[in-house]
Amino acid sequence: MEHFRVDNLWMNRPWLYADQILHHFHGNFTLQGLIDDIKERHPYLVELERLAIRKGTVIHEVFQGAQIGAFSVLAPTRNRYITSLPDFEKTPDRHTEAAGLRNFPLFRAIAAGAKRLLENWDIETLAENTETSASNESCVVQYAVLGSKPVLLTADVGPIGLTEAANYAAQLGLNRPRLVQVPHHGSRHNVTPSVLNRWLGDKQPQGAAAVGTAFCSVGSNAHDYPRAQVTNAFMRRGFKVYSTRTIWISHAAGGGHPGGVPIVAEEFAHEVEGL
C-alpha cells in the first residue's frame, strides 16, 4: 500500500468490537483501555488502517456474505468472529469463563512425542474431535469459480469455520470445489474426516481417477508438514496434494510459465503421526 494504489482493503479490525466484548475482561479495563491493548497487539493491522485512511482506501469488514471480486466469503459470520475475540491469543486474558482454546501449544508439544500409527487406504486415523485456536477459526474462507473451476481458499481455518462455510455454501447451492487450499500448512488439527466429506465428497475406491487438486503452503524447513494423516485423507477423497516448500506453483490449463516443470504430488503414507 505504500507503493501502489489500492482502492479497497478487506480486513477485520478486532478493536472495533471492543464494546461488545469488554465484559469478558477484568473490570480494571476501560473501553478505551481495551481498544488500546488490542491495537498494541495488532501493529500490522493498525499500520494498514493508517495507510488506508491516509490514501483514501476504503476498508471493508470480511464476514460471511461479502463479495471480494469473484470470491464469495463463506466464513466467518460476524457474530461468531466477535464472540470468539476474547479467546484470541492477541487479546487480554479472559476474566470470564474461558472457552479453552489458548492451551494448544502445550498440548501439541506433549502430543508431538506420541507414537506413530499405521494407515492404509481403508484405515483412516485422522481425528474427528480435534480443535484449533480461536484465531485460526476466525480466518476467512473464500469460494469462487475461476473459468469453469470452483476454487476454495481456507487460510488457517479449522473444523468450526469449515463447517460454517460448508453450511453457507449449501444454502447458496455451490458446487464442490476442484481446487482446494489445504488449511494451515496441512495441520491435523484443522480438518476432520466429516468436514472433508462435506467439502471433498466421500472416500473414493483405491485407484480411482482424481476428482480435484489440493495445494498446501509449507515452509522449506517444515519437514513434518503437511501431516501425512491430512494428505492421506485428501487423497482418499480424490484430491492429489501438492506442497510449495521451496517452489512456486502455477496452476494452468495450458503450458504454464516459461521454465516451469511438472510438479510431483505428495505420496500416500502408510506410517503417519499419532495423536
Model confidence pLDDT, tens digit, residues 88-124: 999 999 886 654 545 555 444 444 555 789 999 999 9
pLDDT of residue 120: 97
Q: How confident is the model at residue 247 (pLDDT cuts 50, 70, 90)?
A: confident
* pLDDT > 70 in the chain, percent: 91
pTM of this structure: 0.91
- Of 216, 183, 177, 220, nearest to 200 by C-alpha is 177
Residues 117/102, Cβ–Cβ less than 8 Å: no
DSSP state of 156: T
pLDDT of residue 16: 99
Q: How confident is the model at residue 250 (pLDDT cuts 50, 70, 90)?
A: confident
pLDDT of residue 107: 47
Position 171 pLDDT exceeds 70: yes
How far lies 64's CA from each of 12, 87, 139, 236, in Å?
12, 20, 11, 30
Number of Cβ atoms within 10 Å of the Cβ of 62 = 20
pLDDT of residue 113: 52
11: helix, coil or strand?
A: coil
pLDDT one-digit tens code per residue, 199-237: 999 999 999 999 999 999 998 888 889 999 999 999 999
pLDDT one-digit tens code per residue, 151-164: 999 999 999 999 99
Question: In this predicted model, which residue has the larger pLDDT, 97 or 268?
Answer: 268
What value does the mean pLDDT take over residues 47-70?
98
pLDDT of residue 221: 86
Position 176 pLDDT exceeds 70: yes
Domains of the chain: which residue ranges? 1-68+75-97, 103-275
Mean pLDDT score of the chain: 92
Of 107-116, 227-236, 249-258, 265-274, least confident by mean pLDDT is 107-116
Q: Which long-range contacts (CB under 8 A, 24 or more apart) does 27-36 make?
A: 27/95, 29/92, 34/92
Burial of 199 (0-12, 13-18, 19+ CB in 10 A): buried
pLDDT one-digit tens code per residue, 12-51: 999 999 999 999 998 889 999 999 999 999 999 999 999 9
> How far, in Å, CA of 88 to CA of 66, rounded?
23
Query: Is the C-alpha dihedral spanning 153, 197, 65, 140 positive or negative?
Result: negative
pLDDT of residue 95: 80
- H or E element that contains 198: helix 193-200
